[in-house]
């Protein structure tokens, strides 16, 4: 009974973890849906029919009516509209009588050429795909393909290549949305099958116990019956020899009954031993499967809480740790300071040296910051080039000293790109929690201090 209760406890825990994974899958799906909405909005204004299809896609997202087959049809319709745009772009234009004014290369909202608009859309999708890769788990081949697509969207200027890449992105999104759901359904099915095996085993045990009880009662009745017959023979017989034969026959009957019972009991014991061995094997398999699933859940959670580029905790992990430290600060009242850190002029690095150089800067800065903090401190990457730092048991004056030292260390790092030295600096804003603060209010004050640091010249630390 204790063993059965132990297994119930274990599988209740497994089901709880499965529910957590389902919630994570839901969050990933919502992220992908937001990406689709942003992409569809950025793509509007080309053709009325294309706008109608993109609006239909957003309506489906709002209604939560994901239908992979329907979306593939919708994708084909969108592809046809994009092909029509390509044909329109290839139609020769009349020679201009005056020197044309070049279209400005700016963001949406300004009159730009169709080609520039398409390239801008591709770049935005590439950036959004980068965010998706940080949050969503894909199979290794699909993840490699997604990274290849990201590079194509960010660097290619060939529209036909970009159009094929955008189509592949939609296929990857559908794959990512359905993958975790399929994994969860498969795990729950295996769990249900194995629990059904346990139920059958316990039913067989109950049936065997019932059979043993019936056989024992039948043996008891048979022995009592033969003993009663022996008593009657003794009372009614005057012939000693006849009495001996009669008693001998009754004893033989009792012996045969005991033999039959013993044979049944042996068969029962053998069957129970086989069932027990089978159940031990099945329970070992269930234990192994449970451990694998728990390990997978732990890996998925660690992945979901980690920024893949810098290997620092991400925004979700930051919110969780901030809530924990805020609760501890409320309980004990020990000083707690928040710092928001931003790499100065990071866009210029990307524009001048490329995204690979920008990624390398983020990785080196993250490693430098994390390597110089205490074990009790907590740093996370919460945005493109933005980091957030929690300093428990640290007053404002102490925190300013710590963060300013970090700023100095980063400033002295020997960054080189293409053989040229590049200066990398940080700006930071700090806020110490005070009575009446909420988590968001304290963070907002640190963020406002960061903006003042940027506005007053960068490469400095400002306390709020």
Residues serving a catalytic function are 385
Rounding to the nearest 10 degrees, give the CA dihedral for residues 270, 271, 272, 273.
50
DSSP element (H, E) containing 297: helix 240-304
Q: What is the DSSP letter of 344?
A: T
| Measured distance CA(404)–CA(337) in Å, rounded | 14
For residue 327, count CB atoms less than 10 angstroms from its CB and return exposed for 0-12, middle for 13-18, buried for 19 or more.
exposed
The answer to whether 115 and 89 have CB atoms below 8 angstroms apart is yes
| Measured distance CA(159)–CA(96) in Å, rounded | 24
Q: How far is CA 142 from the centre of its chain?
A: 16
How is residue 441 written in tokens?
């209010």
Within 136-158, where are the H helices? Answer: 140-155
Strand partners of residue 427: 342
Collapsing DSSP to helix, strand or coil, 387 comes out as strand
How is residue 178 written in tokens?
């359905």
The answer to whether 429 and 452 have CB atoms below 8 angstroms apart is yes
DSSP element (H, E) containing 420: strand 420-421
Using alpha carbons only, how large is the chain's radius of gyration in Å?
37
Instruction: Match 């957030």 to its residue by tokens.
Output: 388
Instruction: Match 């004056």 to its residue by tokens.
Output: 397
Q: What is the DSSP letter of 345?
A: T
User: Of the candidates 189, 185, 260, which has an alpha carbon nearest to the alpha carbon of residue 222?
Assistant: 260
The answer to whether 282 and 194 have CB atoms below 8 angstroms apart is yes
For residue 62, count CB atoms less than 10 angstroms from its CB and return exposed for 0-12, middle for 13-18, buried for 19 or more.
exposed
């Amino acid at each position: 009974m204790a063993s059965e209760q132990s297994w119930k406890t274990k599988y209740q825990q497994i089901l709880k973890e499965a529910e957590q994974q389902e919630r994570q899958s839901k969050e990933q799906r919502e992220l992908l849906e937001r990406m689709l909405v942003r992409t569809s909005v950025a793509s509007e204004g080309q053709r009325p029919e294309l706008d109608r299809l993109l609006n239909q896609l957003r309506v489906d997202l709002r209604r939560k009516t994901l239908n992979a087959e329907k979306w593939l049809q919708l994708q084909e319709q969108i592809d046809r509209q994009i092909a029509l745009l390509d044909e329109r772009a290839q139609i020769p234009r009349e020679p201009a009588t005056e020197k044309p004014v070049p279209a400005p290369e700016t963001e949406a909202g300004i009159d730009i050429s169709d080609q520039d608009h398409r390239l801008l859309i591709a770049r935005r999708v590439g950036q959004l795909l980068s965010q998706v890769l940080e949050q969503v788990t894909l199979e290794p081949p699909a993840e490699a393909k997604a990274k290849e697509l990201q590079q194509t969207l960010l660097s290619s200027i060939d529209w036909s290549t970009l159009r094929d890449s955008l189509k592949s992105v939609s296929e990857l999104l559908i794959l990512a949305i359905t993958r975790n759901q399929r994994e969860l359904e498969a795990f729950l099915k295996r769990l249900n099958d194995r629990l059904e095996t346990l139920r059958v085993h316990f039913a067989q045990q109950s049936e065997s116990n019932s059979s043993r009880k019936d056989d024992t009662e039948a043996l008891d009745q048979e022995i009592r019956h033969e003993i009663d017959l022996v008593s009657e023979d003794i009372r009614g017989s005057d012939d000693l020899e006849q009495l001996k034969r009669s008693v001998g026959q009754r004893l033989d009957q009792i012996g045969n009954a005991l033999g039959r019972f013993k044979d049944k009991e042996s068969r029962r014991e053998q069957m129970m031993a086989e069932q027990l061995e089978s159940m031990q094997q099945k329970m070992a398999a269930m234990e192994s499967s449970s451990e694998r699933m728990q390990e997978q859940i732990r890996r998925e959670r660690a992945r979901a809480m980690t920024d893949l580029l810098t290997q620092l905790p991400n925004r979700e992990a930051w919110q969780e740790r901030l809530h924990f430290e805020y609760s501890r600060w409320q309980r004990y009242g020990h000083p707690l300071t928040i710092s928001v850190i931003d790499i100065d002029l990071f866009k210029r690095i990307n524009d001048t040296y490329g995204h690979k150089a920008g990624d390398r800067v983020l990785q080196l800065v993250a490693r430098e910051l994390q390597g110089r903090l205490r074990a009790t401190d907590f740093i996370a990457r919460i945005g493109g080039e933005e980091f957030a730092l929690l300093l428990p048991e640290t007053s404002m004056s102490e925190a300013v000293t710590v963060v300013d030292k970090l700023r100095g260390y980063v400033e002295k790092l020997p960054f080189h790109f293409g053989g040229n030295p590049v200066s990398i600096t940080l700006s930071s804003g700090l806020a110490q929690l005070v009575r009446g603060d909420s988590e968001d209010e304290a963070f907002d004050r640190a963020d406002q201090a960061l903006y003042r640091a940027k506005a007053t010249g960068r490469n400095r630390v400002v306390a709020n």
